[in-house]
Structure formats: structure tokens, C-alpha cells
Amino acid sequence: MNDNNSEIQLPDYVLVNPRLTDDPVYRQGEIGVITAAILNRDEFFVGFDDGQVGLYSADALLMLKQPESIYEYMHENALKLSVDDFKNLKNIALLLDYGTPREQRTAMEIARKNLGVQPAALVSLEERLGLKQSYKRGR
């Protein structure tokens, strides 16, 4: 990172929110890669496996939480989680611990396919980057 904090680390993979109601490229629930971002305009260009690119705001994109956060959730909710959800969350966290893009993609695939783990494993890009706070600030 720069000393002036002008650089922000973006995730390797994002998931277009499956509940997104207005998606001009119809990619709800699909995994993509941020190819460019204009933070002050809340514009994120996301590329998909077929080469198509879509323009999204940060609140339309989901990213994986940090593994520590997932482990904490598992610990706090162990008795409430189904066996499958517990296993899926554990697998996601373990894959994220490896830290390679390939494992991150696999972790994102698990989260994408299992709705029960999404609240525990995913966070909006808007929330993670702290963009939500800046919208609420005013004079």
C-alpha cells in the first residue's frame, strides 16, 4: 500500500449478489473478477469467465469474509448450524487459509452453491471497503 492510502486491496473474486434485482448483464449469483474500479464513483467493472464485463456498485458485489471471522461464527453457532453448513463453512475457511487464488475461487464456489452459509461467509464489498460509512456522512 502507498503511504497516502490511495491504494486499496480488492478481492480476487466477487459474487454478484444473487438477490440483485436490476442487473443489466444478468449475472446474479455468478463469480467474477474486478478488472477496474473507480472508488469515488462507486463503479466496479467485473469480468466473467466468458469474457463479458459488467458494471456494478459495491453494494451489488459480495466477497468472502476473513477465515478468522468464519471460524468465530462457527464457534458461536456450532449448535445451530446443520452438519452440511458447518462442513461447508469449515472448508471455506480452510481454503481461504491457503490464500491462493485457486483456493479462493473454490471457496467462493462453495459459498455460491450453499445459501445457508452465505450470511456467515460473505460480506458486501461496500461494507468491507467502508464505502457505506462515507455515504452517510454529511454536514
The whole model's pTM is what? 0.86
Would you say residue 42 lies in a domain? yes
| Residue 113 and residue 71 share a domain | yes
Residues 70 and 112 in one domain: yes
Q: How confident is the model at residue 129 (pLDDT cuts 50, 70, 90)?
A: confident
| Residues 114 and 71 both lie in one domain | yes
pLDDT tens for residues 12-53? 899 999 999 989 899 999 999 999 999 899 999 999 999 999
Cα-based distances in Å from 113 to 69, 72, 92: 20, 22, 12
At how many degrees (to 10) do helices 83-98 and 67-76 cross? 160
**Residue 39: strand, helix, or coil:** helix
Residues 43 and 68 in one domain: no
| Total Cβ atoms within 10 A of residue 31 | 18
Do residues 139 and 110 make contact, with C-beta atoms less than 8 angstroms apart? no
Is residue 54 located within the same domain as residue 69? no
Average pLDDT estimate for 76-98: 96
Q: How many domains does the chain have?
A: 2
Report the distance separating Cα 64 and Cα 51, nearest Å.
Answer: 23
Mean pLDDT (the chain) is 89
Given this model, what pLDDT does residue 99 score? 82
From first CA to last CA, the distance across the chain in angstroms is: 30
69 and 108 belong to one structural domain: yes
Structural domain of residue 55, as residue ranges?
Answer: 14-63+125-131
On whether both 81 and 92 belong to a single domain, the answer is: yes
* The pLDDT of residue 108: 98
- What pLDDT, on the 0 to 100 scale, is given for residue 138? 39
Q: Does one domain contain both 58 and 102? A: no
Query: Average pLDDT of 100-112?
Result: 96
What is the pairing mode between strands 53-56 and 61-64?
A: unpaired
32 & 54 share domain: yes
